[in-house]
Chain A
Amino acid sequence: MIGQIFSRPLIGSVLAMTLGLGTGCSHWIELTVPTDAAPPTGTTVATDARVPLLLETIRVTHNGSSIAPPAILERQVFGAFEATRLFSQHYQSGYTQPGADQARVTVRLSIDNLVEPHAGQAAWRGFVVGASMFSLAPFISLNYDYSTEMSLEMERWDGQIKQYTATSNGSAHYNLFGANPEVIEQLKGQVTEACLSSLLNQVIQDSSFYLASSEQPQGNPIRTVSVGVHHSSTHTIPVSQPIADSSPR
């Protein structure tokens, strides 16, 4: 009997603490892409018709101010182009260049990032959480919005230029004890990837524009390669992870 009397509050407390800590340490990310975004496209192109790509410039602004492109972003962009397999080789300005007489596609990318950390809201909600001696921490979420707009200019070897644009935005929601720099990095990474995917999907739809016309030698079969955007889906992706599982995927 005594055991039952003590066990109920004890069990209740343990459940409440588990629930509180579980929800208090949570965070989730929501990505939103425009409803007019085209579905992922794939096609097949002749291997020998592909030409090299030269990534000439990446211009980045952060809330309207120009910043140096972070190395991780450059790698992400470069990797996204490589993953499409639409181009035979990939060069970056400042490194080894394709031959001067070689047909190539030159890429110029402009990225405008907008960050809204909701600092005022965080201050007020933080004040309320503090005034409640942190008991409201699991029930009050904080928000961080991030959006990016990319403009891609692709110039063919004969001087013809095509331009593409894409936008993507997302929000990270977290509780006080779930705040972590990793959450924000995940948000930025996912928004950037979604925007890149949308952009490259448009490029894939114009695949034939970036292929050199080549005649296959007689008797040799035409080798082909599947091209497409090999990134994650660009549909809205709600992600909910406890902080313990926030390791990079």
Chain B
Amino acid sequence: MPFLARILTTLALGSLMMTAYAHAADPTPKITVGTQEVGLSVGYLLPHRLTQNHTTKQQGVAFMPSWMMTLSDPVGDSWYRGQVSLGAEMVYIQFQEPFVSHGVGFTPKIKYTFVALDRIRPYAEFAGGPFWTDLAGKIPEESSRFNFVLTAGFGISYFLTDQAALNIGYRFHHISNAGTRYPNLGLNASLPFGGFSFYF
């Protein structure tokens, strides 16, 4: 946990430094078709044991660098006014429990961002892709190291400038091997996260 605390402190200090710049620039983001976004999110995986057969309390820090491409201008005239973006995300998880192990994955990701509130922009996202972890094989839920990860969640971006935003959000996180080996009960978790994005 001290490591996570350091990361979050760094993010908080970074955001304070960026806020000073925010007041000098026009903060209204102008995100159009072709605008790219790179970002980094950090979160902590908290386990959900959905059945009695789930016993592992896997948890740990997750790092998620991402890249996205905006595919549409804002559409709609009401609260749902928003735009679609597509991209990819790397996810690295350092499991702290039940023992230290690692997981790394690559997930294409699609996101719908609500733009009606200007600088505060809620979004919903969905991602899925291959995931390798050495946690599997040592726990009763998963038998193979090659798995897939599926995540769905929501978040809020707060634009400090027209090109930089802080993000916080929540994802539901599922890991399983799509039935390629058994047992395959799957690992489920909540993943609250925070991070930042740059748009160009």
Quick check: A122 and B71 within 8 Å, CB to CB? yes
Contact between B35 and A134, CB atoms less than 8 A apart? no
A236–B167 Cα gap in the complex (Å)?
45
A20: interface (CB < 8 Å)? no
> Given A130-B86, A134-B88, A176-B86: A117 and B34 within 8 A (CB)?
no
Interface contact B129-A117, CB-CB below 8 Å? no
A177 to B73, CA, bound (A): 16
B30 to chain A, nearest CB (A): 9
Check: B32 CB closer than 8 A to any chain A CB: yes
> Which of A50-58, A82-90, A181-189 is near enough to bind chain B?
A181-189
CB–CB B71/A179 < 8 A? yes
Question: Which residues does chain B contribute within 8 Å of A14, judged by CB atoms?
Answer: none
For residue B86, which residue of chain A has the nearest CB?
Answer: A126
Shortest Cβ distance from B193 into chain A, in angstroms? Answer: 20
* Interface status of A123 (Cβ within 8 A of chain B): yes
A129 within 8 A of B: yes
CA distance A126 to B129 in the complex (A): 15
A2 interfacial contact with B, CB 8 Å:
no
B163 at the A/B interface (Cβ < 8 Å)?
no
How far is it, in angstroms, between the C-alpha of A182 and the C-alpha of B33 when the chains are bound? Answer: 9
CB pair B72–A181 under 8 Å, yes or no, is no
The residue in chain A whose Cβ has the minimal distance to the Cβ of B200 is: A181
Bound together, the chains give a CA A174 to CA B86 distance in angstroms of 14
Contacts of B83 in A (CB 8 A): 119
Interface residues on A, range: 20 to 34
**In whole angstroms, how far apart are the Cα atoms of A182 and B32 in the complex?**
10
- State which of B35, B69, B72, B109 has its C-beta within 8 Å of the C-beta of A176: B69
Given contacts A117-B75, A142-B71, contact A133 B108 (CB under 8 A): yes
Chain A minimum-CB-distance residue to B107: A130
Q: A119-B71, A123-B84, A177-B69 are in contact. List 4 more A-B contacts (CB 8 A).
A: A126-B71, A144-B33, A179-B69, A183-B33
A residues near B (Cβ < 8 Å) are: 115, 117-119, 122-123, 126-127, 129-131, 133-134, 142, 144, 174, 176-177, 179-184
23 A-B pairs in the complex with CB atoms less than 8 angstroms apart: A117-B72, A117-B73, A118-B72, A119-B72, A119-B75, A119-B84, A123-B71, A126-B84, A126-B86, A127-B86, A127-B110, A129-B86, A129-B108, A130-B86, A131-B108, A133-B108, A174-B34, A177-B69, A179-B33, A179-B71, A181-B32, A183-B34, A184-B33
